[in-house]
Amino acid sequence: MVVLISGVSRAGYVALRFAGQRYGFALLGVFGGLASSTATTLVYARHSKGNEGFSRLAVVVILLANLVVLVRLSIVSAVVSRAILP
């Protein structure tokens, strides 16, 4: 389990590094959710503090990152035990 979850997180981190900022905040939310939704939330919450225009974009990134965690956990659960999926 540790290797599986670490592998998914590492793949998300690598994808985030390759994507960079050129693909926009939505993809950063998705890749950030694959790598670490907690770290993504922390970074964007700190950047939005005192920056009114950035805060709306930060909300989108944080929501997407946390939604991706639910999908990621569903996929990992299905891989580990297909009976748990339904």
4-46, pLDDT tens digit by residue? Answer: 666 666 776 676 677 665 666 677 777 777 778 888 888 888 8
- Whole-angstrom distance, CA of residue 29 vs CA of residue 9: 14
Return the exposure string of 62-83: e unless at least 16 CB atoms fall within 10 Å of the residue's CB, then b: bebbbebbeebeeeeeeeeeee
pTM for the full model? 0.69
- One-letter amino acid at 31 equals F
Question: What is the domain range of residue 14?
Answer: 2-84
Q: What is the pLDDT of residues 35-77, one digit of tens each?
A: 788 888 888 888 788 877 778 878 888 898 899 888 888 888 8
Total of domains in the chain: 1
Rounded mean pLDDT of the chain?
77
- Whole-angstrom distance, CA of residue 7 vs CA of residue 16: 14
